[in-house]
Amino acid sequence: MERKPLVAIVGRPNVGKSTFVNRLIGNRQSIVDDMPGVTRDRIYFDVEWQHKQFTVIDTGGIIPGDDDEIMLSIYTQAETACSEADKIVFIVDGKEGINPIDYDIANILRQSGKPVFLAVNKIDSHNAALMTSEFYSLAIGEPVAISALHGSGGVGDLLDMITEDFIPDYKIQEEEEKIVRIAIVGRPNAGKSSIVNSLLGEKRVIVSDVSGTTRDSIDSKLVYENQEFIIIDTAGIRKKSRVDYGVEKFAVDRAIRSIRECDVTILVIDAKEGISDQDKKIASIITEAGKGMVIAVNKWDLIEDKNPNTLNKFEQNLIREIPFLSYIPKIYISAKTHQRLNQIFIKANEIYAQSVKRISTGLLNKVINDAYVMNPPQSVKNKRLKILYTTQVDVQPPTFVLFTNNGTLLKDHYKRYIENKLREAFGFFGVPVRISVRERSAKQ
């Protein structure tokens, strides 16, 4: 599903931005205080107006050119909010009147190229037209008189203008009912086609003890618990040195392409043979493609003399052999007896939800800042890494950018530490997490 439209709320300090946001979301989640700079980070809230959903970004008050370190940080956060937003609401103080800083902000907003809506706040009287007329000089557009505190004035009119071209939620649900694509992958003869046939309840693909029977990726649609899935059976992926050119090479290429085009992969491992180097290679292909994954240990019914510790020992061995996949769920199934096959759908749904999860920037920065304070990185040649702020830039897979003072100071072990803290806080079970670095000076 596409992300909700983003609307940034900007303006100089103490004009009522957070009060306006609280009015939109219906409760007091943004801190409101007369002291400028109370809201420092970009804070994201979901809003619904007339069946139209969008996300508002509450920003700190902008004072262009202010040399104070905190105010510079607030300005950077607001600037970033404007760059990622689809629309901008510029709030000014109707009681106080126009301020020279308002002109500076208006100039910045015009350069953004985004649609900007001018809201003149703190107007409770009937002389709205008279009190807003001077704000035409900002050359932003028609001023809309509002009272964020009381919800009176043109708050509704303003929201109508902002959401005019947003798609109603019921239409989004009708048009974007997500079908989760599951690719069944693994080395030859691990039982992939048998799993697909058992899931479909029919002999949809050829099953044989001869490896390489499936020559092409085969798509089949089915419904489980009112959720539609597309199951993709793929050719077994063998080592390059053992792949014949021609039809088999094409089939392997199609299997790899299916991994790149699916939402979730089921990596099938033969319980009797255990994990192989080729299984590890396929797992690496899946991870590099940024896809969610479930490890399905098939033919579990063939394991003899099982006891309460058998599964635990097998899982410990998997973790020892592929430690980089410790975040991946494992299921123990049998295509022949249908044992726990429904777990494929349950886990695929859970992992898809994890892969499209978005974290609000305010909460994200709190987690990263806390992690930094608990375990700051070691200095290198008297230089220490500083994480200025963090933002999530993409999903499938969840992708984060750390803005730092010096990217070379972020070592692999500390990046793994940050990833572990993200997983502790937000889950991301079954999906890879990508972290990249951008340099930005503390006073930029």
Q: What is the pLDDT of residues 389-409, one digit of tens each?
A: 999 999 999 999 999 998 888
Percentage of the chain exceeding pLDDT 70: 77
Helix ranges (H only) for 165-322 are 169-175, 192-200, 247-261, 277-288, 310-321
Give the model's confidence band at 324: pLDDT under 50 very low, under 70 low, under 90 confident, else very high. confident
Q: What is the mean pLDDT of residues 107-135?
A: 83
Give the model's confidence band at 72: pLDDT under 50 very low, under 70 low, under 90 confident, else very high. low
Structure tokens at 401: 């950018």
Determine the pLDDT at residue 328: 92
Query: What are the b/e assignments for 333-372, b being 16+ CB within 10 Å?
Result: bbbeeebebebbbbbbbbbbebbbeebbbbebbebbeebb
- The dihedral built from the CA positions of residue 164, 169, 175 and 179, taken in this order, carries a sign that is positive
Asked whether the beta carbons of 190 and 176 are under 8 A apart, the reply is no
Question: Regarding predicted confidence, which is higher, 113 or 240?
Answer: 113
- CA–CA gap between residue 46 and residue 29 (Å, rounded): 12
Over 70: is that where the pLDDT of 387 sits?
yes
Say which range, 23-37, 220-234, 384-398, has the weakest mean pLDDT: 23-37
How do beta strands 292-298 and 330-332 pair?
parallel
Give the model's confidence band at 199: pLDDT under 50 very low, under 70 low, under 90 confident, else very high. confident
Question: Regarding predicted confidence, which is higher, 11 or 46?
Answer: 11
Give the model's confidence band at 355: pLDDT under 50 very low, under 70 low, under 90 confident, else very high. very high
> What is the pTM assigned to this prediction?
0.57
What is the pLDDT of the chain when averaged over all its residues? 80
Q: What is the mean pLDDT of residues 41-52?
A: 72
Maximum mean pLDDT: which of 65-74, 127-136, 387-396 = 387-396
Across 72-166, the runs of DSSP E, i.e. the strands, are 87-93, 116-121, 144-147, 152-153
Say which range, 42-51, 73-82, 186-195, 362-371, has the weakest mean pLDDT: 73-82
Over 70: is that where the pLDDT of 435 sits?
yes
Determine the pLDDT at residue 74: 52
Q: What is the mean pLDDT of residues 312-341?
A: 89
Over 70: is that where the pLDDT of 236 sits?
no
Per-residue pLDDT tens over the stretch 243-284: 444 334 444 566 677 788 889 999 999 998 888 888 888 898
Give the model's confidence band at 331: pLDDT under 50 very low, under 70 low, under 90 confident, else very high. very high
Question: Regarding predicted confidence, which is higher, 161 or 200?
Answer: 161
Structure tokens at 88: 């901008």
Over 70: is that where the pLDDT of 17 sits?
yes
Percentage of the chain exceeding pLDDT 90: 31
Over 90: is that where the pLDDT of 431 sits?
yes
Per-residue pLDDT tens over the stretch 130-182: 778 899 999 988 999 998 888 766 888 899 999 998 887 655 554 445 789 99
Asked whether the beta carbons of 268 and 296 are under 8 A apart, the reply is yes
- CA–CA gap between residue 416 and residue 404 (Å, rounded): 16
Determine the pLDDT at residue 32: 42
397 cis-preceded (ω within 30 degrees of 0): yes
Determine the pLDDT at residue 62: 64
Burial of 124 (0-12, 13-18, 19+ CB in 10 A): middle
Determine the pLDDT at residue 60: 66
- CA–CA gap between residue 82 and residue 90 (Å, rounded): 11
- CA–CA gap between residue 187 and residue 234 (Å, rounded): 10
Question: Regarding predicted confidence, which is higher, 392 or 443?
Answer: 392
Question: Regarding predicted confidence, which is higher, 234 or 156?
Answer: 156
Determine the pLDDT at residue 209: 44
Over 50: is that where the pLDDT of 129 sits?
yes
Q: What is each CA distance from 259 to 41, 82, 285, 288, 341, in whole angstroms?
A: 38, 35, 8, 10, 20
Determine the pLDDT at residue 20: 87
Determine the pLDDT at residue 413: 92
Lateral strand order in the sheet of 43-49: 43-49, 52-58, 6-10, 87-93, 116-121, 144-147, 152-153
